[in-house]
Structure 1
Amino acid sequence: MVNILFSGTAVVLILFAAYWVRGRGAHRPTGTWAIAALLTFFALSFASYAPIVERAVESVIPHGARLISNASTLAAATSVLAFMFQLNLEPEQARRQIRLRVIALIAAVAGMTVLFNAEQLTHRSASLYALYVLIYTAYLAYTAKDFMQQTWMQSKRSRRMSQRLGLRVTAAGCTFALLYAAYKVFAVLSIGLHLGLIPDQAQCSTPFTPTRCAFSVTAPAIAVLFITTGLTLPALIWPISQFYRRRWEAKSFAALEPLWIDVTAAAPEVVLDPGNTEIDTHTQDLDFHLHRRVIEINDGVLALRRYRSLHVQEAAAGVVASRGATDTPEGNAEVEAAVLSAAVAAKRAGAAPDGAEAPSAVGTDSRKGDLQAETTWLLLVAHAYTHHKSQDAAVVETSDVSARSGS
């Protein structure tokens, strides 16, 4: 179970690293190599936790899996800070900070390696082990705290939901890393003061037993999972969100077509590019064309404002009120659709405005400049408009049948 957990996670992390390194045309996202290094070192750290790997390493270097795991964790922590520096600082300032961190990393790993070898030569001296852990814990705790602060602050400034969520998951991972660091400090005190609070020979049968394994193995494992998931989440969600956005744009563009045809037929001057109204939704820039269609419909509504009948609006509002749908988006859209249908018919028939002009639909001003909100509103109007036209057609057809029957 433990072998599968840690070995499988290591493989997943390597695949994530390959995804980041994979070329993206002529441009690579900022911090690509830092994230790839982070995932690779975390994969190495996770692999060292797997009993099968641990036994293989320690058959050559006694307790060597511990040094590999700890050094990899510190390298991963440095990589993730490098990513944040590249993201938040000017290039030259970021390079300077990264150089300082790499120097500190080399010094920490070198000190840990010296103490590790000295510990082996002195038959696992408790004092040397305590110093080893102190170097490791101090570097890790400082890096985790710094990274947690930067990711949380960055999550507040990020506009994309996937980035905000990813950064907050990463900050939560740093919390588990700090919990692991606190456990290490406790372990150092126990060893240094010869308190015997941490059984040295107890093996982890599961990720949570004995209790110390929850802090020494599970806490860093969760930290790694949260941090890597949080940093990779935006990159994974982006193509998915783009797919759904493109599909929404294509459906919205098509759904608005009946309303757009009638409005622009009544007010053809609002069409921005009369010679280019046939759009291939599979190859064209849908965002641009949807935006244009929304603008043209709204401009058409303005062009027809003289024909907006207050009498029609009040009658439609009464019908909506009878169903208890007043002040709902669907009810407001139904009223607006009735007004637009009458305005289009009046303009096409060349009729004169019938007097009092109906005011604009509810929320018109608040939606200005928000393409998604405006599109969502017009989709409701278009649906109600199509339904209203169908009802009118049914009424006309019934009247014709009745007239023929009477004659």
Structure 2
Amino acid sequence: MNGVLYPLAAALAWMALAYRLVRGLRQDPRDPSLYSVGTAFALLGVIFTVSTPAVWARIDHAAAIPNLSLLISQGCVIAFSGTIQCIIIFWTHPYVEGWRRARWRIAWVLGVLIAMTVLFTAAGRQGEHPTDAAATYARDPVYAAYLGCYIAMVSLGFTDIVRLCLPYARAAGRVWLSRGLRLTATGAGLGLLYCAVRAATLVEGLLGTDPERLEALVPIFAALGAMLVIVGLTLPSFGPRLSRIAAWHVQRRAYRQMYPLWEAITVTVPEVVLDPSASPDRGILRHVDRRLRRRVVEIGDGIRQLRHHMSDTVATTADPRARTGRPGDAAVRAAQILAACLAYEAERRARLDTPVADGTADGAQRADEQQRRARWDAWRAALPATGLRSATPADAGPQPPASSADHDDFAAEVRRLVDVARALRESCNPAAGDPAGTSQIGSST
């Protein structure tokens, strides 16, 4: 277990250190938190690199001091605990007050490190045990005192981390900072379990019973706790990027889901397309927010063009949900838009056919109109029979524009249009069963 979890934790710590330094040096090389957090990551990297059995043996062999790696790794744990406490203090207190609170912690860490070094030097030389040194030597009174100092200091440090993190996580005001503090507190909680196992090891050794009974839990609590602390310390930095990635995915998905509604409108009223030369690529990767906003604007403009052909008495036999009678239902709105597209197209052709036949329109206009009609006919032919019927034009009333007061919020407007687009697709194709909204546009573009 030590040979798997410890190298993994070490690799994560060194990667976090590289990320923090590269990003921090580029943004603000004078930021003190850059170096304090970097120090914490470097200490974690040293702890788990040295604790890896293969590295442990090589260090001891090179220094010709048995179990020197034990002092190095556990000394770094003490230093790491004090560093994390100082980081949290500086995050949650003004600079001057933070230094005042941190000074005694730094002095306490230095004092314990000196005491541990003295006890380690005074202890008798023992054989190499890279995976269970603490449990093996717990019966030695000097080593027991050494382990006692170590356990006491680490326990106090992790308790202080939990005590500092949780209250400030509730009052942090920044979502990712709050999440990072909670993860750090969780990692420190696992560190306390690690201390409990080490304390049991010490007691078992002093009582003469089996001190290695719980040794298998040590790498689990130590490595997993350290990983959570690493993620917690980096979360305030890279967390907002995760939010942007999530927003990008949501916007891209909404852009694709709106395609059936956008297609119905733009083949009927192509004038609303802001950039006719741009293809409606469903695999967009860049400028997703701009394209989504443009699609919403184009749909809204098209609905305003069609509003005089919409009716409150539209019904459809394709989807029973469209007959609920509530004007706000997406299915009802989809049926209204589809009926308006059919009525608008019939009126448009009737209006334009006479001038086209008389030759009053130039050749380019006639060609454009023929191309538009071909696209519309292809779109209409792809729709199965819907059983749609609408009221006569005399019964039709104007509909509120897409950007009405009920939908001022852009995100709410996007959700509404996505619902309408899905209802439009399902009302025209009842067999469609893709609630995720991904397959319905595969054949449309």
TM-score range, shorter chain: 0.5 to 0.7
Q: Which residue does the alignment assign to 2:128? A: none
Q: Does residue 178 in structure 1 map to residue 192 in structure 2?
A: yes
Q: Which residue does the alignment assign to 1:6? A: 6
- CA positional deviation for 1:213: 0.8
Which of 344, 348, 354 in structure 1 is aligned with 2:395? 354
TM-score normalised according to structure 1 size: 0.67
Q: Residue type matched to 2:70 in 1?
A: R
Q: Which residue does the alignment assign to 1:137? A: 151
Q: Which residue does the alignment assign to 2:208? A: 196
- CA positional deviation for 1:263: 8.1
Q: Does residue 375 in structure 1 map to residue 417 in structure 2?
A: no
Q: Does residue 112 in structure 1 map to residue 112 in structure 2?
A: no
How far, CA to CA, are the matches of 2:247 and 2:269 in structure 1? 31
- 1:205-227, Cα deviation, whole Å (9 max, x unpaired): xxxxx423135444323322332
Q: Residue type matched to 1:220 in 2?
A: A
| Conserved 8 A contact 2:303-2:401 | no
How far, CA to CA, are the matches of 2:23 and 2:244 in structure 1? 19
Q: Does residue 76 in structure 1 map to residue 116 in structure 2?
A: no
- CA positional deviation for 1:101: 3.1
| Conserved 8 A contact 1:346-1:352 | no
| Conserved 8 A contact 2:310-2:396 | no
| Conserved 8 A contact 2:138-2:201 | no
Q: Residue type matched to 2:337 in 1?
A: L
Q: Which residue does the alignment assign to 2:357? A: none
- 1:201-246, Cα deviation, whole Å (9 max, x unpaired): xxxxxxxxx4231354443233223322444467667656644643
Q: Which has the higher contact order (CA 8 A, sep 6+)?
A: 2
Q: Which residue does the alignment assign to 1:334? A: 331
Which of 44, 47, 54 in structure 1 is aligned with 2:46? 44
- CA positional deviation for 1:65: 1.8
Which of 213, 216, 224 in structure 2 is aligned with 1:214? 216
Alignment of 1:3-402 (within 5 A): 3-23=3-23, 26-27=26-27, 31-59=33-61, 60-120=64-124, 128-153=142-167, 168-189=182-203, 194-197=206-209, 199=211, 210-232=212-234, 242-243=244-245, 245-250=247-252, 252-253=254-255, 256=258, 259=261, 262=265, 285-288=287-290, 290-291=292-293, 293-294=295-296, 297=299, 308-312=310-314, 315-316=315-316, 319-321=318-320, 332-343=329-340, 354=395, 365=406, 369=409, 371=411, 373-385=412-424
How far, CA to CA, are the matches of 1:387 and 1:126 in structure 2? 76
Q: Which residue does the alignment assign to 1:398? A: none
How far, CA to CA, are the matches of 2:394 and 2:171 in structure 1? 50
Q: Residue type matched to 2:395 in 1?
A: D
How far, CA to CA, are the matches of 1:309 and 1:280 in structure 2? 29
Quote the RMSD (CA, aligned, Å). Answer: 4.9
Q: Residue type matched to 2:194 in 1?
A: Y
How far, CA to CA, are the matches of 1:299 and 1:133 in structure 2? 74
How far, CA to CA, are the matches of 1:25 and 1:267 in structure 2? 50
Q: Residue type matched to 2:74 in 1?
A: N
User: 1:212 aligns to what SS in structure 2?
Assistant: coil
| Conserved 8 A contact 2:304-2:401 | no
Aligned residues: 365
- CA positional deviation for 1:149: 4.0
User: 1:213 aligns to what SS in structure 2?
Assistant: coil
| Conserved 8 A contact 1:180-1:220 | yes
| Conserved 8 A contact 2:21-2:34 | yes
Counting aligned pairs with the same residue, the percent is: 25
Q: Which residue does the alignment assign to 1:397? A: none
| Conserved 8 A contact 1:263-1:301 | no
Q: Residue type matched to 2:208 in 1?
A: G
How far, CA to CA, are the matches of 2:299 and 2:172 in structure 1? 33
Of 95-104 and 109-118, the range deviating more from structure 2:
95-104
| Conserved 8 A contact 2:319-2:426 | no
TM-score normalised according to structure 2 size: 0.62
